[in-house]
Amino acid sequence: LKQLESGLLLVTGPYKVNGVPLKRVNQSYVIATSTKVNISGVDVSKVNDDYFKREKAPKAKKTEDNFFAQSTEQKKELSEDKKKTQKAVDAALLKTLKTDKLLAKYLGARFSLTKGMRAHELQF
C-alpha cells in the first residue's frame, strides 16, 4: 500500500480474501508482479511505524507462583482502533476487487516457490 519511514512496506490481503492483515514487510520478501490494483480510495495516512509498536506490559514481581502460572497467560486482543483501521482499508480494497472477480481469485491463491524456481525469471 505504501512505504513506511523505516523503509518497510505496508501490505494487506485484504484480510477477508486471503487472511493477511495490515503488516510491515521487508522489501526483499516481496515479489513484484505486473498486476495492478487501484488503491486510490484507500486511506492509510494514519498508519505509520508507531501504529505497529507493541504496548508495554507492566512487569510483575518474580515469585514462585508467577513462574508456574505463566502457562495460563491470556492471548492479547487487538485494540478497537486497529480493528477499525483494518476494516476501513479492507472495505476500500474489496470495493475495488468486486469489479474484477479474477483479481480477487488471484489475490486469494496460494503461492510458493519450489526447488529450481527462480523468482526473477517468473512472469505474472
Task: Report the alpha-carbon distance of residue 106 to residue 124 in Å, rounded.
Answer: 10
Backbone angles phi, psi at 25, to 5 degrees: -135, 140
| Mean confidence (pLDDT) of the chain | 83
Per-residue pLDDT tens digits for 68-123: 666 555 667 778 888 899 899 999 999 988 888 888 888 888 888 888 888 777 77
Look at the block and give the residue holding cell 523503509.
7
Residue 1 confidence (pLDDT) above 90: no
Cell (9 digits) for 97 = 476487487
Tell me the pTM: 0.72
Task: Report the alpha-carbon distance of residue 66 to residue 113 in Å, rounded.
Answer: 44
